[in-house]
Amino acid sequence: MSALTDVREVMRRDQVWSFLKDEQKQVDVSHDVILYVEGLNLSFDGFKALNDLNLYVNDGELRCLIGANGAGKTTLMDVVTGKTTPDSGSVYFGQSINLLQHDEADIAQLGIGRKFQKPTVFEALSVFDNLELSLKQQKSVLPMLFARLTPTEIDRIDEVLNVIGLKEQCFMQAGALSHGQKQWLEIGVLLVAEPRLLLIDEPVAGMTAQETERTAELLTSLAGERTVIVVEHDMEFVRSIARTVTVLHQGSVLS
Amino acid sequence: MNQLMRFSRLHGDSKVAPFVAILVVLTLLASMGNLLMPEDSAFYVSTYTITLLGKYLCYAMLALAVDVIWGYCGILSLGHGAFFALGGYAMGMYLMRQIGDRGVYGNPELPDFMVFLNWTELPWFWQGMDQFWFAMLMVLLVPGILAFIFGWLAFRSRVTGVYLSIMTQALTYALLLAFFRNEMGFGGNNGLTDFKDILGFDLQADTTRVTLFAITALLLAVILVISHKILQSRMGKVIVAIRDGESRARFIGYRTERFKVWLFVYSALIAGIAGALYVPQVGIINPGEFSPLNSIEMVIWVAVGGRGTLIGAIVGALLVNFAKTKFTAIMPDGWLFALGALFVFVTLYLPQGLMGLYKKMMDKRRPDNSDSHGSDTEGKNAEPAVKGGNV
């Protein structure tokens, strides 16, 4: 009998089979909050890296996360981007997307970009190629094999090159860039993908004062259109950009 | 203008076309030298040389397979000999079935070794191998499916670096042991040999030899061009990106394991084809081809030629094998020592292989390009080993 009900369920003509449905990829921010982190717990070998952590980030906000070493800042980012699975808790992107059910690649395509602490660019590729790979596109094997660079894509890359100020170095090997330039390139790589939420881990580490200033400008200009979460140690830098600051301590939010 | 130059250099300033042209011309000359010249002429190329060259070209194809996966994706496979040998066995089975009743025991159905083992009927996996098209299909399918299963399991579990290399090594070693067993039905440690003809052509005839050699050269050229095209495409860029920063690639939205699996399969297919071309020219396939040593030798060919350059892999394979032929003639026992020394030398002094050396010399000739171009790939090989910690 139950098999019959199952079959009937499958054959219903007013509904599309669930596997045929487009995955819901629109972020629902109707309540102004883009990222919900609730009751997050994670421990490594008994060490509580995240301890009942709650965090809400509004759409279009520029949020700074600060805290001592081991406060769980990077771990939080790992969880949000799908690298680590928490022991308990929930992470929602907008109203409806449960990030814990997606893997890194999925989350990236949903529109969450992440910049690592250490600048990570594809060193053997040119600056242009680095950006090209990050473009919003079908990122599975076959489409990539036959992909051609379209004028729209070139425009988009051009635009970002202007923003990050690497127009001159466009065809240089990314490995030959200076440290600060690599940091920017990585931010550019994130921007090309047109993310809704940017997670940026220590963007100004190892930058000169001048470069830091430019980075601050860049990040503030991004907020509003996109949501930016910055993890940073440099208090001066935080003061120069921050509107809201969240302090993490021993895996939970202090203020 | 300078920028444009740099651009073309980064995008694999294609030396592929001239290389293919040279390959085709040399193949034609060698073939004509064998078939048209009288034996006492200075331009006569002996059939022995032709077969030797054909063998080298098979090795070159194999080196290409290793280079695609190692040089471009940073996956050091120490088990490519397995795919090569499987392709070879598929071809060997076809050739075995072609012998028919001309074997020592004159059994029209069973190969000699089966009669010897008192088997009365053909095992199921030998069925259909008397059809050329079916055997060729197996040449592709068997290595391809094995690579797919292995790659899918390994890459999905995010096994990288030395751990993956050891696993590939174990794979080929396991197959070596399995194929040594008589019960497997592949001729045990004697392997498959005593082939008579292929598609009705006598394997000992000069024309067949030359044709096989020419087909090998042609396929090598075709595979070189296809590989070049694949690596030039955006997928190729993703593959290089995975080599340089797998987690970065993952965080910009690529399922890196899928790219790795398909590249691994592609590479295994090339290795399988190389094996299938190798067997009729050499006339034997035995489990020795599975030995881990062979697989390591392949890696050395690529390292000598320069990994990450397709032509380098081919040149490396040709040169090292030529050296091997010469060296083993003079001092048979010394070859392995020489090979080891060569590997140490290349790793220490020529991290980019001969192609790197060539490029450096070309750069020196052009004084305006004295930037640090090309010195950054050295550390790349060390990287997967470091990352292997989080298996």
Which pLDDT belongs to residue B218?
95
Collapse the DSSP code of A92 into the 3-class scheme (helix H, G, I; strand E, B; otherwise coil) and give the result.
Answer: strand
In tens, the pLDDT along B28-77 reads: 999 999 888 888 888 888 989 999 999 999 999 999 999 999 999 999 99
C-alpha B8/C-alpha B376 separation (Å) is 18
Which pLDDT belongs to residue A23?
55
B362 domain residue, yes or no: yes
Of B238, B371, B373, the CB nearest to A133: B238
**B264 lies within 8 A of chain A by CB:** no
In tens, the pLDDT along A170-192 reads: 888 898 988 888 888 998 998 89
pLDDT band of B259, cuts 50, 70, 90: very high
Question: Which CA distances in Å does A238 have to A65, A219, B242?
Answer: 9, 11, 33
Most confident of A122-126, A251-255, B185-189, B217-221: B217-221
CATH match of A2-253 with 3.40.50.300: yes
Cβ–Cβ gap A116/B234 under 8 Å: no
pLDDT of B226 > 60? The answer is yes
Q: Pick the range with the lowest mean pLDDT from A66-70, A78-82, B264-268.
A: A66-70
Cβ–Cβ gap A122/B248 under 8 Å: yes
Cβ–Cβ gap A126/B234 under 8 Å: no
Which pLDDT belongs to residue B148?
96
**B233 lies within 8 A of chain A by CB:** yes
Question: Which CA distances in Å does A236 have to A66, A116, A233?
Answer: 12, 21, 9
pLDDT of A146 > 70? The answer is yes
In tens, the pLDDT along B278-302 reads: 999 999 999 999 999 999 999 999 9
Question: Which CA distances in Å does B241 have to A157, B59, B78?
Answer: 18, 28, 22
Q: Quick one: tokens of B348?
A: 């220490």
Of the two residues A24 and B212, the one the predictor is more confident about is: B212
Which pLDDT belongs to residue B369?
46
Averaged pLDDT for residues A15-44: 76
Cβ–Cβ gap B235/A140 under 8 Å: no
B246 domain residue, yes or no: yes
Which pLDDT belongs to residue A19?
66
Strand A112-115 with A197-201, pairing: parallel
Cβ–Cβ gap B255/A109 under 8 Å: no
What is the share, in percent, of chain B residues with pLDDT greater than 90?
Answer: 60
In tens, the pLDDT along B131-149 reads: 999 999 999 999 999 999 9
Question: Which chain A residues in 178-237 lie under 8 Å from chain B, judged by CB atoms?
Answer: 189-190, 193
Chain A: closest CA distance from residue B163 (Å): 21
Q: What is the pTM of this model?
A: 0.87
Most confident of A9-13, B17-21, B90-94: B90-94
Cβ–Cβ gap B249/A189 under 8 Å: no
In tens, the pLDDT along B233-252 reads: 999 999 999 999 898 999 98
In tens, the pLDDT along B64-83 reads: 999 999 999 999 999 999 99
pLDDT band of B368, cuts 50, 70, 90: low
> Domain extents for chain A?
2-253
Q: Which domain holds residue B263?
A: 13-390
B320 domain residue, yes or no: yes
B4 domain residue, yes or no: no
Which pLDDT belongs to residue B352?
87
Chain B: closest CA distance from residue A126 (Å): 7
Total domain count, chain B? 1
Of A103, A109, A129, the CB nearest to B237: A129
pLDDT band of A18, cuts 50, 70, 90: low
**Residue A230 and residue A183 in contact, taking contact as beta carbons nearer than 8 Å:** no
Closest-CA residue of chain A to B227? A145
Chain A: closest CA distance from residue B345 (Å): 24
Other Cβ atoms within 10 Å of A232 Cβ, number: 22
Which pLDDT belongs to residue A1?
62
Residue B346, H or E segment: helix B335-349
- Between helix B47-70 and helix B256-282 the angle, nearest 10°, is 170
B1 domain residue, yes or no: no
